[in-house]
Structure 1
Amino acid sequence: MTSPLFPGRQAVSGGAAAGTTRRSLLRTAGKATAVLAAAALSLTACSTGPASTASEASAASSASAQFPVTLKHVFGETTIKEQPKRVVTVSWVNDDVAIALGVVPVGVPKNEWGGNAQGSTPWKDAALEKLGAGFGSDKAPAQFSEADGINFTEIAKLNPDVILGAYSGLTEEDYKKLSEIAPVVAQPELAYGTPWQEATTLIGKALGKTTEAEKLVTDTEATIKAEAAKYPQITDKTFIYGNLEPAKGDGVNVYLAADNRPRFLTDIGMKPAAIVEEKSKGSREFFTGWSAEKANELESDVFVTWVPDAKTKDQIVKDPLLSQIPAVKKGALVAGSDNTLTLAISASSPLSLPWALDKFLPQLAAGADAVK
């Protein structure tokens, strides 16, 4: 399954078509880890449970009034008859959105790439702790592995009311099998192509939290703009966000407009390079390949990429072909090796982006500072 993080690599948490692993990193990360076969949690694990105050009762009544709701997606339509109490998510992002809306799923996939020792992320851990449902507690979501694709068996055990996959690479076969378990919110169109804003509003409707979802999008966008404003040097700088492979014939991949990485850089005031705009026109792909022999044609102010280690960045700078990328030549290569930070931007959500800003923006600013 092709990973939405790195073109042509095996996915470790859901995916679409089969691909070829290009680094040993994800071959290692893709190995299945031991799965905590947690028993189904009580209904109190979801914040949509019984209200305990007059205001909570009013909110619950308002949420219930939003149902039934019908949601459109790439495979047709899904109708959710009443507000879900037992929520299960697949792939990345969807659990972040539910948790950000105050709903603790009864089951979530492990973050098996870019995650921590407990198969989670710093932003997810912090949000769950605030909800009194941190991993290790009685109210924590059960976790299951998606190293080998959708885990139908573990999902069925959790007896969900709804399965959230607004940001995912569900196939039609996946969708049909999951629909036998519970109503499924699939991706609206492209596999791993749902903007975090759309995923948030879609999941908000599915959970009876439409107003909260709209506010969450507005607040998150405001946070992004406020933090980006602290680094004026990045405004209007052109960018290419890609993947560089030193000493490889297929040494460059360039992410296109359908991918969250270029979307994020655009949101903070940067501009896609001409090659990104050209290749994005009419394309339904999230990346395009580029010959390393034509690396000198990849004109942009800044080039952003992920590397497994600092050594690889040095190899890129010294590579006879990749070193001819204009941004690399002038020292404007932004190459980070923090897998968790890469995950936060690649599979962006209302929880991951605020966490990533104070780590990623200074790196971009340093790249922009190299532009003369």
Structure 2
Amino acid sequence: MTSLRPLTRRGRVPRALLPVGALLLALPLAACGSESDSEDKAGGGTSPAAEAFEPVTIEHAFGSTEIEEQPERVATWGWGSGDAALALGVTPVAMPKYSYGADENGRMPWQTEAIEELGGEEPALLSETAEAPIEEIAAAQPDLILANYSGITEGDYEKLSKIAPTVAYPEEPWATPWREVITTVGEALGKADEADQLLEDIDAQVAAAAEEHPEFAGKTIAAVAIDPSAFYVYRGADPRVEFLEDLGFELAPSVDELDTADETFYYMISTEEADKLTSDVLVSYSPNEDAAAEVDKSAAAKAMQQFQDDTVARVVGESLVSSVSPPTALSLTWGLDDFIEALVPAVEKADAQG
């Protein structure tokens, strides 16, 4: 699974089959499954956390899900829900395997750090497939499945719900606000207060970054992924854009004016229309320096004022791109400093333009 998800409404497309621009779009109790957990469950024992758990009902796109008992074996699918669980001290029994931006373990670097810190058994890694790997998830024997930032279909949901209570996204696939991913996971795990505190801590770090860079405030911005065959623009509802707004930027009016309404969180425009996407600053995501150089030489770049004025913030590197595309409970602060560093030169150039 990638972080800047090139997704259809059916779910993820395997990265190996996608061009660079699409790859950029495709772009989230105790330690679960331990021997002592199994013994307690088998012996009928209950932990204080389980005894204190209050049943919850979570509404989502496919109805509602009741969670009546403290989850002990949590599986996650999509982007961000696994990070939220880890940030709240719960290691999933199964979570997606990644290749884009991942380490040798098939995990994002911030996930590996959190898993090592929590200790206990490591999660099983689910195959990178276009649709949820139902059999693999079932094999992990979860008692809760979190897919609240994903592309599962209603058919997927029905199959997953036969395995365990399943939480889907609230309205549209791949469009759940990153904060809501965290609060929903917290609610499902009986850790709503901890989730609220986690968000307060993250927001404090983002607010501090915005305060350190008052020059961001009021600057109009557009976020894009470009490759030789396509030009993708992120909508205002996309979590990537919401994060930029948290830092003080404003969505450029041209983003809405050019919207073709062909996908949930992004749309595509032709190279001929690229010059109409005006903004003070353009954020361009690229997996590596070679790809960034290709973007700079593209016909779209040659047509855009931002490239001519050097007001392009180039976010380069698979892990960094993934950390903010969209951000998660773990990744946002992991990549924050490098992301700010990428933004500053472009904003300074925009200021110089007057």
Normalising by structure 1, what TM-score? 0.82
Taking the aligned partners of 1:345 and 1:284, their CA distance within structure 2 comes to 20
Q: 1:291-310 maps to which residues of 2 (within 5 A)?
A: 291-310=270-289
Specify the SS of the correspondent of 1:104. coil
User: Paired residue for 2:344?
Assistant: 365
* 1:177-199 deviation line (CA, Å, top 9, x unaligned): 10110000111111010011111
The separation in 2 between residues aligned to 1:185 and 1:319, in whole angstroms, is 42
Alignment of 1:218-367 (within 5 A): 218-246=200-228, 248=229, 251-278=230-257, 285-367=264-346
Measured after TM superposition, the shift of residue 112 of structure 1 is 2.4
Match of 2:66 among 79, 101, 104: 79
Tell me, yes or no, if the aligned pair for 2:12 and 2:131 is still in contact at 8 Å: no
Structure 2 segments unaligned to the other structure (5+ residues): 27-31, 42-46
Write the mapping of 1:14-33 to structure 2, written as runs, cut at 5 A. Answer: 15=11, 22-23=18-19
- Could you tell me which of 17, 38, 41 is aligned with 2:33? 41
- Judged with a 3 Å threshold, the aligned counterparts in structure 2 of structure 1 residues 89 and 19 are, in CA distance, closer, same or farther, namely closer
> CA RMSD, aligned part only?
3.1
Say whether residues 1:104 and 2:91 are aligned partners: yes
Give the paired residue count: 339
Work out whether residues 12 and 129 of structure 2, in 8 Å CA contact, stay in contact via their aligned partners in 1. no
Shift of 1:19: 11
Pair 1:90-2:69 in alignment: no
> Gaps (5+ residues) in structure 1?
31-39, 50-56, 134-138
Shift of 1:320: 4.1
Deviations 1:37-95 (A, max 9, x none): xxx9336579x99xxxxxxx765543x1x12x111000001111111111111112111
The answer on whether the counterparts of 1:16 and 1:171 sit within 8 Å (CA) in structure 2 is no
Tell me the distance in 1 between the aligned counterparts of 2:276 and 2:98.
36
SS at structure 2 position matched to 1:288: strand
Query: 2:137 is matched with which residue?
Result: 155
Q: Deviation at 1:125?
A: 1.5
> Aligned pair in 2 of structure 1 residues 236, 242: CA closer, same or farther (>3 Å)?
same
Q: Which moved more, 1:285-294 or 1:308-317?
A: 308-317
State the alpha-carbon separation in 2 of the partners of residues 90 and 351 from structure 1.
Answer: 16
For 1:149 and 1:124, how far apart are their aligned partners in 2?
22
Deviation of residue 299 (structure 1)?
0.9
Counterparts of 2:243 and 2:257, CA distance in 1: 18
Q: CA deviation at 1:235?
A: 2.2
**Contact (CA 8 Å) 1:90, 1:108: kept in 2 or not?**
yes
Taking only the aligned residue pairs, the percentage that are identical comes to 36
Distance change >3 Å, CA 228–CA 6, structure 1 → 2: same
Distance 1:205 1:296, change over 3 A: same
Q: Residues 99 and 315 (structure 1 numbering): CA distance in 2 closer, same or farther, change over 3 Å?
A: closer
Structure 2 CA distance, aligned partners of 1:232 and 1:366?
Answer: 14
In 2, Cα distance between the equivalents of 1:311 and 1:20? 18
- Give SS of 1:346's match: coil
Is it true that 1:212 corresponds to 2:170 in the alignment? no
- Tell me the equivalent position of 1:132: 119
Query: Is contact 2:97-2:125 (8 Å) kept?
Result: yes
Structure number with greater CO (CA < 8 Å, separation at least 6) is: 2
Match of 2:172 among 187, 190, 196: 190
CA distance in 2, matches of 1:207, 1:223: 25
